[in-house]
């Protein structure tokens, strides 16, 4: 038993419960860093396996597909394809699946299976799935896909020991089984199979990919990546060239291939579901349906929205005031204290006017940031932020923005600093950047006294 | 009856027959299950007329009108009794 450094990644759709499961496995002790070169958060923790071995656990950004469209998905893609320098290759991927949205979540799972990465599926939110009318046997799904499937309920910590056990078994090289249905990549329909086969052949001839196992999935991703669009693509130049050549040979467009892939993969998923004898209904979720009919009601919806955001705005605009005064007072007293200790001169000026005043000027925003992020956390976790975006999208779209730009812009009226930080909830990179650039143009609370001063002086 | 997603009334559903056009939003919708052969239901329309909330493969997705126009479908037969 050698102490081998394992790296285990947790992947999954957004909102599949990845973070909850990460915390349930690793405890809350983790360190947060950025991936090299991008501001995508990377969460890492040490993981102790049942046999005492240690592994590094990495939380991958949530993604629906391995075809990258955002920096987050690009990171997930690059990590899974071993394309990030300074990062060890992954020993195993745990794919967290929202069992109550099985088909959509299996999309990513089947893409990972194409990739031949050692995979363990964590079938999360099984309780919700059962309420919604899904009947499934994890054992059957496991045999169909050929990888371990562990039912979990992240919130309650159910299934975590079994999941760790499965991870360990898989890391030891066991738990491999022949899938009942071959991976999607080896049974593409003709319109995909021809170009993929051709590009795979070219990649093999180029000498970079010897094995068919690796060249075929690589060829599929290369063809699906929009090499002429503005999406982030990190393919090596020779591969871009070969891909362009193949697209030309078959007179294909990336969008045609994407349409064909999504369609064929969902057909494939339907077969998986049938083979694993899973039955699904879409029973309405009573509570959330009833809430939605009020929260999204043409009359009550906007009113509730106004009240909630009025409250958020009031809290950062007015209620943070006393706290900020407190911080101000604290730094004032420290400065006064230091003033009385140190003799007058350059050094005192450096400490008092430079260090203390400088840090104080930054820390003074802390109350606003904390309050805003508390509200944002509550609104996001309760799902209200998505509803708010739904209500406000029309308004924001008229100035070319996303419904989710509203909260950052609103908070920028109080202060642009938390406003810019709040843009992290905007999915599209373009909209996020535009919002960040607009946010400082909102009239923040600190500017009002300046305006009043100028108005009073000039007029 | 042939139609497009943006023409559905709240509560109506249909069977997707084609997704026209290209672009990131449509590829994302396809990855989320909006492919030909899927059943979509229009749940509700935002009070300001856009976006639409549609249900496909067990998930609610908000989608803008101009994207919904690119999704062709066949309307499900109307229930005989109004409800």
**For chain A, what are the domain ranges?**
6-171, 184-275, 294-448
pLDDT at A231: 58
By CA distance, what is B18's nearest residue in A?
A259
Do the Cβ atoms of A254 and A227 come closer than 8 Å?
yes
Cα–Cα distance measured from residue A426 to residue A432, given in angstroms and rounded to the nearest whole number? 6
**Chain B residues close to A65, C-beta within 8 Å:** 31
Quick one: which of A129, A116, A169, A114 has its CA closest to A16? A129
Using a CB–CB cutoff of 8 Å, tell me whether B75 touches chain A.
no
Residue A45: how many CB atoms within 10 A of its CB? 20
Residue bearing tokens 């996303």: A402
Quick one: which of A344, A357, A339, A316 has its CA closest to A442? A316
pLDDT at A230: 57
Residue bearing tokens 């923005």: A401
Cα–Cα distance measured from residue A355 to residue A98, given in angstroms and rounded to the nearest whole number? 49
pLDDT at A36: 59
pLDDT in tens, B41-55: 999 998 888 899 999
**For chain B, what are the domain ranges?**
2-75
pLDDT at A1: 44
In the predicted structure, residue B58 carries a pLDDT above the cut 70: yes
Q: Which site among A259, A281, A290, A302 would you substitute to test the B interface, given the most B Cβ atoms closer than 10 Å to its Cβ?
A: A259
Interface of A with B in 382-401 (CB under 8 A): 386, 389-391, 393-395, 397
In the predicted structure, residue B83 carries a pLDDT above the cut 70: no
Rg of chain B, C-alpha, whole Å: 12
Using a CB–CB cutoff of 8 Å, tell me whether B12 touches chain A.
no
Q: Which long-range contacts (CB under 8 A, 24 or more apart) does A111-115 make?
A: A111/A65, A111/A66, A111/A184, A111/A265, A112/A11, A112/A66, A112/A80, A113/A145, A113/A146, A113/A147, A113/A179, A113/A183, A113/A184, A114/A183, A114/A184, A114/A185, A114/A216, A114/A217, A114/A220, A115/A66, A115/A80, A115/A81, A115/A217
- Indicate the helix (H) or strand (E) that contains A218: helix A212-224
In the predicted structure, residue B78 carries a pLDDT above the cut 80: no
Size of chain B in residues: 83
Regarding the domain delimited by A6-171, which CATH topology (the fold level of the hierarchy) does it fall under?
A: Rossmann fold (3.40.50)
State whether B58 and A263 contact (CB < 8 Å).
no
Cα–Cα distance measured from residue B38 to residue B41, given in angstroms and rounded to the nearest whole number? 10
State whether B31 and A262 contact (CB < 8 Å).
yes
Of the partner residues B22, B35, B53, the one whose CB lies closest to the CB of residue A255: B22
**Chain B residues close to A395, C-beta within 8 Å:** 48
Mean local confidence (pLDDT), B4-29: 87
**If DSSP codes are grouped into helix, strand and coil, which group holds residue A426?**
coil
pLDDT at A39: 58
pLDDT at B17: 93
DSSP letter at B78? P
- The dihedral built from the CA positions of residue A375, A381, A384 and A386, taken in this order, carries a sign that is positive
**Chain A residues close to B32, C-beta within 8 Å:** 64, 104
Do the Cβ atoms of B5 and B52 come closer than 8 Å?
yes
Q: What is the CATH number of domain B2-75?
A: 2.30.30.90
Q: ipTM beyond 0.90?
A: no
pLDDT in tens, A358-396: 888 888 888 887 887 788 778 877 888 888 889 988 888
CA max distance for chain A: 84
Do the Cβ atoms of B60 and B8 come closer than 8 Å?
no
Quick one: which of A63, A11, A66, A14 has its CA closest to A261? A66
Q: Whole-prediction pTM value?
A: 0.83
Query: A382 vs chain B: nearest CA distance in angstroms?
Result: 16
**Geometric angle at alpha carbon B18, from B35 and B79, rounded to 5°:** 85
Query: B80 vs chain A: nearest CA distance in angstroms?
Result: 22
Per-residue pLDDT of chain A (459 residues; tens, 9 = 90+): 445 688 899 999 888 888 888 888 887 667 666 665 555 677 888 888 888 888 889 888 888 888 877 777 778 888 887 777 666 778 899 999 999 889 999 999 999 999 888 999 999 988 888 888 888 899 999 999 999 999 998 888 889 999 999 999 998 887 677 888 889 999 899 889 999 999 999 988 887 776 667 888 889 988 888 666 655 567 788 888 888 899 889 988 888 888 899 999 999 999 999 988 888 887 777 788 888 888 998 889 999 999 998 888 888 778 888 988 999 999 999 999 988 888 888 988 898 888 998 888 888 888 887 887 788 778 877 888 888 889 988 888 888 888 888 888 887 877 788 788 878 777 677 888 889 998 888 877 777 777 878 888 888
- Contacts of A364 by beta carbon, 8 Å cutoff, 6+ apart: A324, A327, A328, A331
**Chain B residues close to A386, C-beta within 8 Å:** 62
Using a CB–CB cutoff of 8 Å, tell me whether B24 touches chain A.
yes
Q: At what angle do helices A406-414 and A300-314 cross, to 10 degrees?
A: 40
Cα–Cα distance measured from residue A114 to residue A108, given in angstroms and rounded to the nearest whole number? 10
Cα–Cα distance measured from residue A75 to residue A232, given in angstroms and rounded to the nearest whole number? 10
By CA distance, what is A108's nearest residue in B?
B31
pLDDT in tens, A34-45: 665 555 677 888
In sequence order, which ranges of chain B are alpha helices (DSSP H)? 24-31, 65-68
Cα–Cα distance measured from residue A261 to residue B25, given in angstroms and rounded to the nearest whole number? 16
Query: B43 vs chain A: nearest CA distance in angstroms?
Result: 10
State whether A395 and B64 contact (CB < 8 Å).
no
Residue A227: how many CB atoms within 10 A of its CB? 17
- Please state, in angstroms and as integers, the Cα–Cα distance from residue A45 to each residue in A42, A85, A87, A262, B56, following that order: 10, 20, 15, 34, 36
pLDDT at A313: 81
CATH code 1.10.287 for A184-275: yes
């Amino acid at each position: 038993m050698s102490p081998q450094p394992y790296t285990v990644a947790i992947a999954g759709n957004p909102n599949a419960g990845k973070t909850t499961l990460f915390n349930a496995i690793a405890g809350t002790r983790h360190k947060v860093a950025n991936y090299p070169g991008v501001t995508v958060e990377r969460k890492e923790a040490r993981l102790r396996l049942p046999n005492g071995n240690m592994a590094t656990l990495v939380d991958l950004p949530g993604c629906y597909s391995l075809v990258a469209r955002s920096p987050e998905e690009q990171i997930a893609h690059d990590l899974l394809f071993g394309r990030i320098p300074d990062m060890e290759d992954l020993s195993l991927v745990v794919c967290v699946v929202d069992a109550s949205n099985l088909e959509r979540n299996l999309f990513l799972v089947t893409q990972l299976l194409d990739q031949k990465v050692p995979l363990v599926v964590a079938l999360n939110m099984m309780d919700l799935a059962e309420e919604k009318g899904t009947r499934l046997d994890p054992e059957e799904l496991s045999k169909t896909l050929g990888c371990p499937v562990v039912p979990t309920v992240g919130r309650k910590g159910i299934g975590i020991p079994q999941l760790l056990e499965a991870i360990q078994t898989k890391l030891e090289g066991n738990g491999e089984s022949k899938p009942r249905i071959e991976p999607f990549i080896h049974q593409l329909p003709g319109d995909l199979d021809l170009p993929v086969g051709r590009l795979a052949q070219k990649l093999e001839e180029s000498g970079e990919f010897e094995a068919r196992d690796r060249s075929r999935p690589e060829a599929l991703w290369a063809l699906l990546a929009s090499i002429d669009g503005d999406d982030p693509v990190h393919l090596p130049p020779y591969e871009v060239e070969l891909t362009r050549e193949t697209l030309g040979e078959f007179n294909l467009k990336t969008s045609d291939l994407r349409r064909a892939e999504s369609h064929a993969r969902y057909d494939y998923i339907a077969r998986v579901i049938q083979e694993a004898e899973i039955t699904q209904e879409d029973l309405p979720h009573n509570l959330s349906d009833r809430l939605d009919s009020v929260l999204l009601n043409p009359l009550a919806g906007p009113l509730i929205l106004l009240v909630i955001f009025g409250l958020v705005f009031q809290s950062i605009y007015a209620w943070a005031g006393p706290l900020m005064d407190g911080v101000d007072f604290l730094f004032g007293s420290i400065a006064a204290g230091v003033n009385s200790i140190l003799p007058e001169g350059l050094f005192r000026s450096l400490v008092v006017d430079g260090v203390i005043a400088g840090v104080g000027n930054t820390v003074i925003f802390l109350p606003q940031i904390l309050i805003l992020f508390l509200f944002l956390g509550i609104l996001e976790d309760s799902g209200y932020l998505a509803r708010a975006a739904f209500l406000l999208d029309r308004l924001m779209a008229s100035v070319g923005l996303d419904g989710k730009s509203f909260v950052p812009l609103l908070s920028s009226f109080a202060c642009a600093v938390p406003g810019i930080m709040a843009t992290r909830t905007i999915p599209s990179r373009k909209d996020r950047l535009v919002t960040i650039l607009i946010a400082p143009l909102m009239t923040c609370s600190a500017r009002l006294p300046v305006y009043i001063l100028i108005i009073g002086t000039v007029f | 009856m042939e139609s497009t997603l943006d023409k559905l009334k709240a509560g109506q559903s249909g069977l997707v027959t084609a997704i026209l056009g290209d672009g990131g939003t449509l590829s994302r919708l396809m990855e989320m299950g909006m492919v030909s052969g899927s059943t979509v239901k229009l749940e509700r329309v935002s009070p300001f007329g856009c976006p639409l909330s549609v249900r496909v493969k067990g998930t609610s997705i908000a989608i803008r009108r101009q994207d919904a126009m690119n999704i062709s479908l066949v309307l499900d037969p109307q229930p005989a009794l109004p409800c």
